[in-house]
């Protein structure tokens, strides 16, 4: 398992269903890595073997994993298979998976269990809808997601939480910096077990707002979707 405490911050590129072989080759030619930061590229599974990594600060990540370990489950990829491909991180419970693939907290928890057993760090995504935010239910929603998605075995060394307000993903909208700081602090104080856990912010992170977001004291890095597809933008975000 990667030692997360080695890094001042963690930046994860979530390419979602994007990319091709030429894109990947050009991306790594231009990607510029800084030594104290942990950089993770999450590509579609078909490209994982093409991603470049190093043992110090550049890692490969998956976007999802099966709840099953093996057997007659056509189309699935297990945590053990990911570990054989040298995958060190895996997103779980991304809101797009919850929304389009009916993923529930119980399966997210099982995925996190499988990943931890295979020494892959689950990046467990949580976040509220706009409706919940408007009804001042953000903390209630997050508390429920976190208590139902994090397995007993999760701790600050083997698990990351990504706070991604659903209404901020791909919209250009973000919470205020004060709101981000407040939510991250709330997450870290939910349980003494989590007070050192790394909490990343995701949702419309761009080169224009990433420095300020990342400077907030309870923000340990960012999960970047759209802006991670432009390597020049991603370089600015991680610089």
Task: Tell me if 170 contacts ligand PGA by CB under 6 A.
Answer: yes
CA 136 – CA 30 distance, rounded (Å):
42
The smaller minimum CB distance to ligand PGA, of residues 129 and 155, is found at: 129
> For residues 159 and 191, which CB has a smaller minimum distance to ligand PGA in the complex?
159
Cα–Cα distances in Å, from 13 out to 16, 44, 92, 209, 218? 9, 12, 14, 16, 20
Return the number of the residue (115 or 227) whose C-beta is nearest ligand PGA.
Answer: 227
Comparing CA positions, the residue from 35, 34, 224 lying closest to residue 233 is 224
- 175 counts as binding ligand PGA under rule CB under 6 A: no
Closest to ligand PGA by CB, 93 or 203: 203
Indicate whether 226 belongs to the interface with ligand PGA (CB under 6 A).
yes
**Nearest approach, Cβ of 138 to ligand PGA (angstroms)?**
17
Counting beta carbons within 10 angstroms of the beta carbon of residue 238, is it exposed (0 to 12), middle (13 to 18) or buried (19 or more)? buried
- Known catalytic residues are 94, 164
Q: Is the dihedral of CA 17, 20, 23, 29 positive or negative?
A: positive
Answer yes or no: are the C-beta atoms of 53 and 59 closer than 8 Å.
Answer: yes
Total residues contacting ligand PGA by CB under 6 A comes to 13
Of 58, 188, 225, 238, the residue at the interface with ligand PGA (CB under 6 A) is 225
Q: Which residues from 4-43 bind ligand PGA, rule CB under 6 A? A: 14
Structure tokens at 171: 């919209």
Q: Which of residues 177-216 bind ligand PGA (CB under 6 A)?
A: 202-205
Collapsing DSSP to helix, strand or coil, 24 comes out as: helix
Footprint of ligand PGA on residues 119-148 (CB under 6 A)?
A: none
164 binds ligand PGA (CB under 6 A): yes
Q: In this structure, is the dihedral angle defined by the CA atoms of residues 77, 83, 86 and 92, taken in order, positive or negative?
A: positive
Q: Considering only 101-109, 137-145, 181-189, 217-225, which stretch makes contact with ligand PGA by CB under 6 A?
A: 217-225
CB of 68 to ligand PGA, least distance (A): 25
Calculate the dihedral angle through the C-alpha atoms of 209, 44, 91, 83, rounding to the nearest 10 degrees.
Answer: -130
Asked if residue 64 binds ligand PGA (CB under 6 A), the reply is no
Q: Which residues bind ligand PGA (CB under 6 A)?
A: 14, 164, 169-170, 202-205, 223-227
């Amino acid at each position: 398992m990667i030692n997360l405490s080695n890094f001042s911050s963690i930046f994860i590129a979530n390419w979602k269903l994007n990319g091709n072989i030429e894109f990947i080759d050009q991306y790594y030619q231009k990607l510029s890595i800084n030594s104290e930061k942990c950089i993770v590229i999450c590509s579609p599974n078909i490209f994982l073997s093409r991603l470049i990594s190093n043992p110090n600060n550049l890692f490969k990540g998956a976007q999802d994993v099966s709840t099953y370990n093996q057997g007659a489950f056509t189309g699935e990829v297990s945590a053990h298979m990911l570990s054989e491909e040298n995958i060190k991180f895996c997103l779980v419970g991304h809101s797009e998976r919850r929304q389009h693939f009916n993923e529930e907290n119980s399966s997210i928890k099982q995925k996190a269990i499988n990943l931890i057993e295979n020494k892959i760090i689950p990046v467990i995504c949580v976040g509220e809808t706009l409706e919940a935010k408007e009804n001042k239910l953000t903390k209630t929603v997050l508390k429920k997601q976190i208590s139902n998605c994090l397995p007993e075995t999760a701790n600050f060394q083997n698990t990351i939480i990504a706070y991604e307000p659903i209404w901020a993903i791909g919209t250009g909208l973000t919470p205020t910096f004060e709101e981000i700081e407040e939510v991250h602090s709330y997450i870290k104080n939910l349980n003494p077990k989590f007070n050192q856990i790394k909490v990343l912010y995701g949702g419309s992170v761009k080169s224009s707002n990433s420095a300020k977001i990342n400077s907030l004291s309870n923000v340990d890095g960012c999960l970047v979707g759209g802006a991670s597809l432009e390597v020049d933008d991603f370089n600015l975000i991680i610089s």
